Amino acid sequence: MSKTAILLIDCPDRKGLVAAIANFLVREYDANILNADQHQDVELGLFFMRVEFTTDKAGCDEAQFRAVFSPQAEEFRMNWQLHFVEAQEKVAIFVSQYLHCLADLLHRHQTGEFRCKLSLIVSNHEKARALAEFYEVPFHCLPVRAETRAEVEAEQLALLAEHGVDLVVLARYMQVLSPKFVEAYPQRIVNVHHSFLPAFTGAKPYHAAFARGVKLIGATSHYVTEILDDGPIIEQDVARVSQNDQLPGLVQKGRDLERMVLSRAVQWHLARRILCYANKTVIFA
């Protein structure tokens, strides 16, 4: 039975890498390469590649591939990941009281835009329950207070482990995650920030942008790290505003941007189109 797989690679740049990778896949797996994209960081001397291929070779799984590919990977000092398209990631969405991003993600999942299993929705408010029930996704309301934050996070992590969650999406979840939580899901927590980072960080960026009289507003999707709003940026977008835009209109334009940048980031993560390095990302076409 034919399998489709995605190979992601980063390593020091040198001549012959593309040929070596393509020749290996054809020689060892009689692979049909469906798509290949690469990027070089000239300043750092790094090479990045994404290869999507099909193979009919029996017994092809990650362990078998590792055994065959490891000698070549060591020769070129490659970091690499192999993902099979048939294996769908399990996703959890965290949300607070703003539901526009959640509604957009649920609709896109229902219409088949996201190849994943939506395992659960977690919120610190009841407001999202009706949406979760409409889309038939398990919903867990865990209110957070300063004195119960650690206890609630432990319960959240237990829920994620119980459901075998691979990716956490923060769809305007207005709580700061602890270093322990972030450490449990490195480069597997995608957040949307309602600002064009690094400008206007914090809780009320639209108010700050309005007060500053900006001519462009933006939204940013990024991976979460221990440093607030400082993780590798996945996607950004902007909209033009003017003195005629009052704060409510500016916020509405911003929410439209938030929906778009978060959905793109989730789509690209699920499609294995992202590699992180030096607190940056490479996004493959």
**H-type alpha helices, 35-128:** 62-75, 100-110
Active site annotation includes 229: yes
Closest CA to 31 of 10, 64, 7, 9: 7
- Cα–Cα distance between 192 and 235 in angstroms, integer? 9
User: What are residue 238's DSSP bridge partners?
Assistant: 218
Closest CA to 13 of 50, 49, 47: 47
Catalytic-labelled residue, pool 104, 166, 229, 245: 229
Closest CA to 195 of 245, 249, 261: 261
- Cα–Cα distance between 89 and 76 in angstroms, integer? 29
User: What are residue 232's DSSP bridge partners?
Assistant: none
Closest CA to 218 of 201, 230, 226: 201
Measured at the alpha carbon of residue 229, what is the angle toward residues 225 and 232, in degrees to the nearest 5? 60
- Cα–Cα distance between 11 and 90 in angstroms, integer? 29
Catalytic residues: 229
